[in-house]
Structure 1
């Protein structure tokens, strides 16, 4: 692997103060964890995996690349002391080196950081913070089991900007009981704060979550696809009018420089190593993922072993299909290879799913209608 090829690092912090009703991520509250999984020792545990990962990269002949992007996700990474997050970033820097223009992001809840924390993160080398705002409407936040006061969001955004961090705000649309007017109010609240980047995700209600149980019992209505499509059009219109450009189906930035480079690397199937319980990695056409529970994860590392649960070597067909599945999501579009796939383009242009000029050049670039039906486009291109 050439030293110039991109290499990212994802650090999963699996701790939350409260489990949101819609969340099916690999996260744990203190009562769910029980004994044997120390939040206080987590930075040291992650450093152990980084050290073993370096040995494995050298064994595979994949060492020698500086890290171009780092992303702390969760969970709520900022539940850890800022010094611990700085220590984990230092482990990455000391082991692999950071590119001079490296993008370093942490997710945060609005009620999990103060000005001093954000200043300390910037001084430690972080460049971005992504706040889980989700909504500006109290009853929507209550349905999602979000604990922060919406009035806290302007304060933490101002603090982050003062600290010199780029700011992204995350929204969720389609929550049961959320009206289109509620959604417009949330998007307007985001625009008033002038973040550098906005993510807006359609709510999915996953089996096994508290919200799924509430829907099953009839306490909440289920997701309405037409309602979500309307709300996607609303956010796309309002962000475009405010000067934000979409670059991935669920993501908008004020300029190309403000796009989340770490996530773009996922969609372009670049290499990354995922640190933490349940974290996924991708290296040179091979996927692997760690054991999920923090206790099992920590024990593997204490035993001097990488905590990998399973490895999958991708076939050429899987690689090609994933390039379509992920690449079609980006604003640049996807060069379409193969006579059968190219034969699909004119019909999808006629149906309003693809942009005509790009399709004429053999590139599948989604229209807004195509973004709403991206799975349909993918199915037809890989059939």
Structure 2
């Protein structure tokens, strides 16, 4: 599957399966994901529910005739689930759909030693890529971020991943209050000595209804200002490009061929199924695209699946115009941009009709956009101000 549309090829949009494990050991103060802390989880009961929802998708005809190109176990902390549960889900999915010969199967993991010890078992279950939530190699920063591991455990987990699976990635958070360019350069250089083929580098964002949002409201935390964040972002791009891991998406960097195939399904507006609490799906229905949203609360999802065979909260038709807006919002995050052919396949509309040339011309002149007959691309400068650029394109 082409990763970046090299040599004039239009990349595959793929077909993905997402599995959400909603449980964590603790809740981090920056996290707004659908994650929950529970003293006890009945793993056998949860496994049965995942398999029931998966069978329901297949019986309803979703993804019929498609080939799964990627599976992603996200969370929460899916490395807390028993490896046997991951194996059972993958085995059931193979019974319902074809799997690509080079299918990517990713599992998100925390660096805690108890979870790292399970990496080999997850590999035996069918996981071939690990995504590790390192966040920092600085002990003080890890405490600030509320992480349940130390820097030594992070390095040990990366070493364990190297032995267990052919591909791995880890995350770092930067643009933290008080962070300096020199400190970030040193941290990033250490990360590069440990990196595989992929790194995710996120600026610290204060999300509503998080611990950090409360701290900001109380005046106990002052986020880094926009100019300083922008300077660190530019430094990040410079270092990563020099290292041979340029940004293929705003916050994601990879060596050629090391891109996250599953996330590319989202960014290229492909089809995907979602299992578990709060999971989303985008599927073609008889009358067009449908957006599926599962119930968020773990217990509510679990009980509904047990009673009805699915945990759906809503199924909403997605219009061509809405799908077109999604395709632009997601696709322009990518360095490759939005291919006209993929755009048409995603929303049934022509790119030139949705974004007339006269609307994009001023942005091209400003150096924020590149447009060819084949595609439309936000430049590095354009991706740095993507929200404003999209507002102009979709006006």
TM-score, reference length from structure 1: 0.90
1:168 is paired with a residue whose SS is strand
Task: Give, in whole Å, the separation in 2 of the partners of 1:353 and 1:315.
Answer: 28
Q: CA deviation at 1:40?
A: 5.0
| Equivalent in the alignment of 2:14 | 6
Deviations 1:146-172 (A, max 9, x none): 121112222222221222330111112
Q: Which moved more, 1:162-171 or 1:208-217?
A: 162-171
Contact 1:132–1:170, Cα closer than 8 Å, also in 2: yes
| Equivalent in the alignment of 2:220 | 219
- Is residue 271 from structure 1 mapped to residue 271 from structure 2 by the alignment? yes
Task: Give, in whole Å, the separation in 1 of the partners of 2:13 and 2:247.
Answer: 25
Point out where structure 2 has 5 or more consecutive residues left out of the alignment: 1-11, 341-350
Q: CA deviation at 1:209?
A: 0.9
Contact 1:78–1:113, Cα closer than 8 Å, also in 2: no
Distance 1:113 1:100, change over 3 A: farther
Task: Give, in whole Å, the separation in 1 of the partners of 2:59 and 2:373.
Answer: 44
How does 1:1-383 map onto structure 2 within 5 Å?
6-30=14-38, 38-57=42-61, 62-111=63-112, 116-255=117-256, 257-284=257-284, 285-334=289-338, 335=340, 336-338=351-353, 341-354=356-369, 358-359=370-371, 361=373, 363-383=375-395
Deviations 1:215-248 (A, max 9, x none): 1111111342222211211211111111112211
Report the aligned-residue RMSD.
2.1
Task: Give, in whole Å, the separation in 1 of the partners of 2:278 and 2:35.
Answer: 9
Point out where structure 1 has 5 or more consecutive residues left out of the alignment: none
Contact 1:247–1:259, Cα closer than 8 Å, also in 2: yes
Deviations 1:119-138 (A, max 9, x none): 22222221110011112222
2:310 is paired with a residue whose SS is coil
Deviations 1:62-111 (A, max 9, x none): 42323211000001000112222222222222332422111100010111
Contact 1:341–1:382, Cα closer than 8 Å, also in 2: no
TM-score, reference length from structure 2: 0.87
Task: Give, in whole Å, the separation in 1 of the partners of 2:114 and 2:131.
Answer: 12
Aligned residues: 369
2:383 is paired with a residue whose SS is helix
Contact 1:342–1:362, Cα closer than 8 Å, also in 2: no
Distance 1:362 1:121, change over 3 A: closer
| Equivalent in the alignment of 2:4 | none
Q: CA deviation at 1:112?
A: 5.3
Contact 2:169–2:198, Cα closer than 8 Å, also in 1: yes
Distance 1:172 1:191, change over 3 A: same
